Structure 1
């Protein structure tokens, strides 16, 4: 088995290293790079505007990364009187290490649905929620929180910039390496992968196993034509590694 890892940034590189160390062939093909978001500079003032007990929601580790950098640059500290939330344990632990602040996340279901099921998310009337995110992405949490009475504001901390590749060259490398398994960790990556591969190679692409991290991505992959889809129980690299090894 040869695995194509499309997860961007250091986490993608780390997964490739883990797979290679386990004796598997793994290639790294990130489809995006991450840059500062258009609204990042507004973060300190947006945090100041929140009231005691309001929420700050990090949609991803990248949101933590860029937020931490701008606050360090401005000399601003993470407020102790706010509530910090995310959808996954990995992002939560990363934020805690960077900020020394507690953060809440759903343990059994690491997605927006799991977050919305937490006890503190049931009564949101009058609460403000600042969502720190990239460009694009899912609006489900914001919509549901608003329907529960929250005042929701999003702030673009980072943006995804597509990486340009020579399509034929990348396909040739994948085929020569025997790639038969793809790791896809977001809908944006899934769509980017489909756009990268020309029409006459789509049959090859969708004949590969697809390992992903949520039912939502799996359902989208089925609609695009994938037959073999494997769901990792969590999105962290160790869970993905265990899934691929099994």
Structure 2
């Protein structure tokens, strides 16, 4: 088994290195690079304007990283009188580490649906929810938070910028490397992947096993041409879970 890692930044590099150390051949081809968001300078003021008891939600470790760096550089601290949330365990742990505050997350389902099912989210009238995220992304959580009565504020903390490759050259490299398994942990990555690979190589792409961490992305993959049997859904999106899953798969 040879795995293509599409996860961007150092987390993609770390995942590739961990897979190779575990005896699973892996190639890193990030489809995006992560850069600072265009609204980071608004973050200190938006945090200051929140009322005690308002909510702050970080979509990902990237959002936490850029937000925390901005606050450090401007002399601000994460407020102790706010309630903090993240979409999954890895993001929550990183948010807790950076903010030194307790961070809630949905244990059972680490996605927007799980977040919305938390008891704290049932009635949001009078609350302001500040969402720290990248450019684009799902609109389910902000839309539902508004329907439940919240005032929703969004800060673009990072941008996903497509990495430019020669599609034919990179696809040929993947084929020569024997890639038969691809990790695509988000809808944006899956869309970029299917748009990137030349049309003449679409059969090769959809015959590769696809590993994701979301039923939603899995359904998108089926619509893009993958057979259900070729799609594996990891219980979580963190690197340790993906390495364990793929190492066990390689041993079969």
Partner of 1:51: 51
Partners of 1:200 and 1:173 lie apart in 2 by 15
CA contact (8 A) 2:130 2:155 kept: yes
Residue in 1 aligned with 2:168? 168
Q: 1:1-246 alignment to 2 at 5 Å?
A: 1-227=1-227, 228-246=230-248
Deviations 1:152-184 (A, max 9, x none): 111111111110011122112111111000000
C-alpha distance after superposition, 1:164-218 (max 9, x if no partner): 0111221121111110000001000001111111100111111100000100000
Q: Note the residue ranges of structure 2 that are not aligned, 5 or more in a row.
A: none
What secondary structure is seen at the aligned counterpart in 1 of 2:149? coil
Cα shift at 1:118: 0.8
Aligned residues: 246
Distance (whole Å) between structure 2 residues aligned to residue 34 and residue 17 of structure 1: 19
With the length of structure 1 as denominator, give the TM-score of the two structures.
0.98
**Matches of 2:226 and 2:241, distance apart in 1:** 22
Cα displacement string for residues 15-69 of structure 1 (whole angstroms, at most 9, x for unaligned residues): 1111101111100000111111111100000000000000011011110011011
User: Over the residues paired in the alignment, what is the CA RMSD in angstroms?
Assistant: 0.8
Q: SS at 1:230's partner residue?
A: strand
Q: CA–CA distance in 2 between the matches of 1:60 and 1:23?
A: 28
TM superposition shift of 1:221: 0.2
List runs of 5+ in structure 1 lacking aligned partners. none
